[in-house]
Amino acid sequence: MLYFLPLSTLLLLPSILAIPTPPSEPLPLLIWHGLGDNYAADGLHSVGDLAVEANPGTFVYYIRLDENPDSDKSATFLGNLTEQIAQVCEDLASHPILSIAPGVNALGFSQGGQFLRGYVERCNIPPVKNLVTFGSQHNGIAKYQICGATDWLCKAYIGLLKANTWGHWVQSHLVPAQYFKATNETTGEPTKDYLENSNFLADINNERELKNTTYAKNLASLNKFVMYVFEDDTTAIPKESGWFAYTNITSGEVTHLRNRTIYKEDWIGLKQLDEKGGLEFKTTEGGHMQLDDEVLTDVFKTYFSPPEEVSNQLANNEQELLEL
Ligand SMILES: *[C@@H]1O[C@H](CO)[C@@H](O)[C@H](O)[C@H]1NC(C)=O
Ligand SMILES: *[C@@H]1O[C@H](CO)[C@@H](O)[C@H](O)[C@H]1NC(C)=O
Ligand SMILES: *[C@@H]1O[C@H](CO)[C@@H](O)[C@H](O)[C@H]1NC(C)=O
Ligand SMILES: *[C@@H]1O[C@H](CO)[C@@H](O)[C@H](O)[C@H]1NC(C)=O
Ligand SMILES: *[C@@H]1O[C@H](CO)[C@@H](O)[C@H](O)[C@H]1NC(C)=O
């Protein structure tokens, strides 16, 4: 007779019978906001809400450098990017949910896009599967015009850094200076000052003599890297930086990534990624960060949706075969 099963056995039953997490569970999503924004901002969270609507069950993590939203906002102007990215790496690798995920997807807005790429290249634990960036500055900025029209705090910092872009203090404290790129307009080559002093971009783009092969390996391991440029972007200059293109500021002539040395010699794995169909160049209407819900939803469904349930599909096929 089984009427007197001990209570402990009964309590175990539900977990024994529990169905394992289906493979169709969406991966967690990382969102890294842009300059002057903060991780708790309503606008950012409405993007996260859209992601959940498109792929129900998505765990969204808003990357932050400080739990206090005001301090997190300050950190978008002030800080050493080497340290900021290292901190994000630590936070993600020790996060109770993210650290055990088989992978994550990532969405970067403006400078948050190149910082997420930095995360992929330098750390990538948990590994990013699909990276989408909007209006980012992958080939740096050629002008400091990155602040919103009425963002006076931002403008004040920009004034400071214009004065001494390549100084050690500026390179270790003012964020936009660390992805400013100076190019000799005659030769199209980066300047010596930039190569010697850039604390972030010259390193992350492997522009120096000594290349870090981990950067290329990690970036090439992505499934998709999708780069959106805003058609009428007049804030991120040049806007084509969002596609890793080089723009001659004097003539306006654009050299596509595929015609640049960073690609041809595959310094950071972009060629490898492109050859397996993982690199996408996209445009979207509007000015800098004029996000459209429809475009976002399309991105979430196209790139962040879990794969179809292959196992069920196989089971069905098997069933059909048996019936033949
Ligand atoms: C390359 O980058 C990886 C990841 O950040 C780091 O661990 C390694 O020390 C770097 N190698 C060199 C030669 O700088
Ligand atoms: C930025 O932080 C790193 C790591 O702490 C440090 O080595 C570096 O000197 C700092 N500043 C610059 C300009 O690299
Ligand atoms: C740019 O490069 C040319 C050719 O090497 C050189 O003559 C010129 O001085 C450089 N310009 C600047 C601003 O460094
Ligand atoms: C950039 O444009 C200027 C003006 O047309 C031209 O003189 C210069 O050679 C161009 N630089 C490169 C690298 O093509
Ligand atoms: C690369 O340069 C060649 C020769 O200038 C040009 O014909 C081609 O269209 C360029 N490719 C891209 C992708 O821009």
What is residue 201's predicted lDDT score, i.e. its pLDDT?
A: 98
- Residue 82 CA to ligand 2 center (angstroms) comes to 6
Q: 184 CB under 6 A from ligand 3?
A: yes
pLDDT exceeds cutoff 50 at 85: yes
255 Cβ below 6 A of ligand 4: no
Res 59: pLDDT: 98
- Considering the chain, what percentage of its residues have pLDDT values greater than 90? 75
Pocket test for ligand 4, best of 184, 185, 260 (most atoms within 8 A of CB): 185
Determine if ligand 3 sits within 6 Å of the CB of residue 185. Answer: no
User: What's the token pair of residue 269?
Assistant: 């794995």
pLDDT given at position 309: 55
Q: Does 198 fall in a domain?
A: no
Distance in angstroms (rounded) separating the CA atoms of residues 257 and 245: 5
Nearest alpha carbon, ligand 3 atom 5: 187
Q: Flag whether 140 is in a domain.
A: yes
Does residue 76 form part of some domain? yes
> What is the spatial distance between Cα 314 and Cα 162, in angstroms, rounded to a whole number?
60
- CA 184–ligand 4 middle distance (angstroms): 9
Spatial contact of 170 and 77, defined as CB atoms under 8 Å apart: no
Which residues approach ligand 1 with their CB closer than 6 A?
122, 212, 214
Ligand 4 contact, 43 CB (< 6 A): no
Mean pLDDT of 156-167: 80
> What is each CA distance from 21 to 31, 95, 140, 188, in whole angstroms?
24, 20, 42, 52
Q: Give the pLDDT confidence score for residue 178 in this predicted structure.
A: 96
Residue 190, domain member (yes or no)? no
Question: How is 76-125 classified by DSSP, letter by letter?
Answer: TTBS-HHHHHHHHHHHHHT-TTGGGSS-EEEEEETHHHHHHHHHHHHT-S
Ligand 3 binding pocket includes 193 (Cβ within 6 Å): no
Count of helix runs (H) and strand runs (E) in the chain: 14, 8
Catalytically annotated residue among 33, 72, 110, 136:
110
Dist. CA 271–CA 235, nearest whole Å: 28
Could you tell me if residue 14 is inside a domain? no
Q: For residue 102, is the peptide bond before it cis, meaning its omega torsion is within 30 degrees of 0?
A: no
* Three-state secondary structure of 278-313: CEEEEEECCCCCCCCHHHHHHHHHHHCCCCCCHHHH
Number of domains the chain contains: 1
Rounded Cα gap, residues 163 and 176, in angstroms: 13
Name the residue among 43, 35, 46 with its Cα closest to residue 114: 35
Could you give the CA distance from residue 86 to residue 71 in angstroms, rounded to a whole number? Answer: 17
Give the CA radius of gyration of the chain: 23
Supply the pLDDT for residue 2. 44
Q: Is 288 a catalytic residue?
A: yes
CATH label of the domain that carries residue 302: 3.40.50.1820
Q: What is the pLDDT of residue 116?
A: 98
Of 6-15, 74-83, 113-122, 216-225, the poorest mean pLDDT is in 6-15
Q: Is the pLDDT of residue 318 over 80?
A: no
Work out the average pLDDT over 36-62.
Answer: 97
Query: Across the chain, what does the average pLDDT equal?
Result: 89
CA gap 214, 253 in Å, rounded: 32
Can you tell me whether residue 315 is helix, strand or coil? Answer: helix
Binned at pLDDT 50, 70 and 90, residue 154 comes out as confident
Q: Are 92 and 31 in contact (CB under 8 A)?
A: no
Residues enclosing ligand 2, CB less than 6 A?
Answer: 80, 82-83, 168, 171-172, 199
Beta-bridge partner residues of 281 = 227
Contact between residue 215 and residue 268 where contact means Cβ atoms under 8 Å apart: yes
Q: Report which protein residue has its CA nearest ligand 4's atom 9.
A: 186
> Per the domain annotation, does 186 fall within a domain?
no
Percent of the chain scoring above 70 in pLDDT:
86
Instruction: State the residue range of the domain holding 86.
Output: 27-153+213-323
User: Is 233 tagged catalytic?
Assistant: yes
Taking CA atoms only, the protein residue closest to ligand 3 atom 1 is 184
Give helix 293-303 / helix 42-54 axis angle, nearest 10°. Answer: 50
Residue 16 domain flag: no
Name the band, by pLDDT with cuts 50, 70 and 90, for residue 277. very high
Is residue 110 very low, low, confident or very high in pLDDT (cuts 50, 70, 90)? Answer: very high
Q: Is 70 a catalytic residue?
A: no
C-alpha 140/C-alpha 178 separation (Å) is 9
pTM score over 0.75: yes
**Residue 207, domain member (yes or no):** no
**Amino acid residing at 34:** G
Q: Count the Cβ atoms, other than its own, within 10 Å of residue 220.
A: 20
Q: What would the pLDDT profile of 1-38 be if each residue is shown by its tens digit?
A: 444 444 444 444 444 444 554 557 899 999 999 998 99
Q: Please provide residue 201's backbone torsions phi and psi, each rounded to the nearest 5 degrees.
A: -65, -45
By most ligand atoms within 8 Å of CB, the mutation choice from 248, 256, 262, 281 for ligand 5 is 256
Q: Confidence band (pLDDT; 50, 70, 90) for 155?
A: confident
